[in-house]
Amino acid sequence: MTLAARETGNPRPDRGRAPAARGRRPEDRPVEFWPTSAIRSALQNGDITVWQRIVVAIKRDPYGRTARQVEEVLSHRESVGVSKALDEVLVRSREHLEATERAEAARHIRVLLDRSGLSEQEFASRIGVPTEDLEVYLNGKISPPASLMIRMRRLSDRFAKNRTPPPGG
């Protein structure tokens, strides 16, 4: 029986801990698996290589676990030095993600519009928005609400079916 087992009365003191976690420091694992205390410590005492790992994790998932942990740690600190830089990384990563999502929504709307065979004016009228609003969606400046995306898809489906000749002639 090990010393730890004798002290705790548990013959298997490692039971309940994940096998990957045994004998490993949080910093040895991917940043996404670090506890908030490790993030806090890295921001206070880390070096550029550790901060870069955190930045990569934030850029990969700007609203993910690591981003939320950094956000929490930064909310309790004055924004200077690495804190200020990481705050800027959070803001820019989220802005980039949102711009990418708006562009993706715009491409999807263009596909629905083209598939319907309708003009922009007719498509806009049939989904109940001014043509100018449809143009804003198509330019990716803003994204329409989910309910409007559903309405666009249904309209596109209906007109695509009417345009497609039946099989065999």
Q: What is the pLDDT of residue 13?
A: 47
Give residue-wise pLDDT tens across range 26-66: 667 899 999 999 999 988 888 889 999 999 999 999 999 99
**7: pLDDT strictly greater than 60:** no
Dist. CA 49–CA 35, nearest whole Å:
18
Question: Residue 17 — pLDDT band, cuts 50, 70, 90?
Answer: very low
- Count of domains observed in the chain: 2
Residues 106-115 have pLDDT tens digits of: 999 999 999 9
In a domain, 167, yes or no: no
Residue 131 predicted with pLDDT over 50: yes
Category of 23 on φ-ψ map: left (φ > 0), alpha (ψ -120 to 50) or beta: left
What mean pLDDT, rounded, does the chain reach?
A: 85
* 33 within domain boundaries: yes
pLDDT at 100: 96
| Position 85 in a domain | no
Task: Please tell me whether residues 71 and 115 are part of one structural domain.
Answer: no
Structural domain range at position 66: 25-77
**Tokens 């491409």 — which residue?**
107
Q: Is 144 helix (H, G, I), strand (E, B) or coil?
A: coil
Q: Which amino acid is at 81?
A: G
Asked whether residue 7 is domain-assigned, the answer is no
Q: Identify whether the C-beta of residue 47 lies closer than 8 Å to the C-beta of residue 32.
A: no
